[in-house]
Chains A and B, each alone.
Chain A
Amino acid sequence: MDITKLKTKECATIIGFTLPECEFVKRLMALGFTEGTPIRMLHKLPFGGPLGFEVKGAKVMLRRDDAKTILVSLN
């Protein structure tokens, strides 16, 4: 499932991306969203606003449409 489906405080592991490796996916990887990385949903801003994740010790906010490209599986 895509990462936006996670509930707040839910943990999951990244299993891949919906896009082939492009500039944007590379950016997500640089931010810490690499395959096999455990992540946790921290914040969901209202009205379709950005989502906040804990990833590799950092707190990263992503626009919801951008986050949709990340696929995860629940632990």
Chain B
Amino acid sequence: MALLDYLKQNNHDGIILVEIEGEQLTYQTGSVQATFYMSDKPYFTESSDSIGAIPFTPCIESDLRYGSTVSNIFGTRASRNYGTISLSTPEVFAVTTVSGTPQYGVKDVRSSISNDAIDVASTVTVKLAGPRSLFTYAEAITLFTAKVDNVSYSSGGGVSISISSIIDSVYDKSLSTCSGTYGTVLNMKPELVDFATLKYSVNDGEIEAINGVFDRAVALTLTTDYTVDLSAGTITLVNTPDDLTVDVSGSKESGVFARTTQEVVDRIIDQVSLNITTSSDWDVDTDDIGYIVENPGDITLDVVLDELAAGHLGFWFVNRSNEITMLKWDSSGINSYTYDETQVMDYSWEYNSETYRSTSASTYDRNWHSGGSPAAGADPTRADFHTSEFGGIKVSAVSDGVNNSSTIEAPTVHTYFAQFSGSPAKHYVVAPFRSRVYEVEVPAYDILDIGDSVTFPTDEGDVTGLVIGITTTLGKGYPTNKLKVLP
């Protein structure tokens, strides 16, 4: 029997395991920081387990809550909040490695007393285990990983550890080194990097292809008018241009050209050295997109994710495995769960009315000087793309129309801006949106997350919807999930 099936049976023990990597306050040659092991009930691993025979200190005395909610249900990002772990004692079993040899013993978690202590930024892993005689340590389910925000001690010996999501680092993560052109972009304005040779850079590194070079919308000729260095991401002109734009298939690494939204995000995450990946659960359009980061020092990763999610009328969040997932609002959900009335402890609903923000908020112009005119022989349908609102980002994942109905229309992702013509316009301006949002309380033993699909019974029949908020309570009481569900 799987652990979750076992735990779902009435009266069965679930054990919360918390592992915290302490911070080494004074560097000791050859040693690494301690890992503290604690639980809410007695739990001992066995020597055949990956962490050996470890006695978890049963000192967790608080309910453990963790939650994740799309902060504005029609905004794009999701927040993840965790509560506080209260310990009844500061003395917790720990393993430290000194010169390659593990040292075992009870250590004080307080920084004022111990060299190895739980401190701000320590990594926290929370697991749900079954009785060790029935389930191995490897079968314990990792509920989430987080980091320590604050540690406080009471005079009675109690310890309070506030924890929060590691996705704060997504919000804070500057793209300072990620300048570049991703996917297929039309009419980008390259940067003049060598005045003497008229060398222009279209990307900071190797690119897939240069698809066209234009001066005031007049196509230039390869070799005659310009040469290309794909490995450096540059073009070199023969004559000084008047108003240069380039069609580029951009960033290429290890022979792989990033085309789709997910591939572009993967590429950018790689470049910012963040210990996070994209999940396999993405459910947004897989068309080619184009995306330019011009002033990376001014923007952070969450802005990029907001923008790219907006291009799909979607939202993004970080799942329990700390992977970024992007979904469309009309997604059917990553995992689906069905509850019957024996499992639903409570439900209620309310109308909620909010507005999509003008997600792309992008305008486009012709690719000649504003107020000027195209050069003789130019293609007048070509357009240049501008987005002044988002700190230098240009995005080509845009809708082809204005949606003002009360339903969400799936966007169309366009590769070519030239499909647009006419006066500057904005896209994705959606009228106020009114929908029921359900609050449902169910047992916590399904490892639900934002983006999952749930079906549950109500007086009006079964309701199926997308989980847009979740608060899980574990600990002394019976564990419950409180879900916000958008049908």
Do A and B assemble together?
A: no
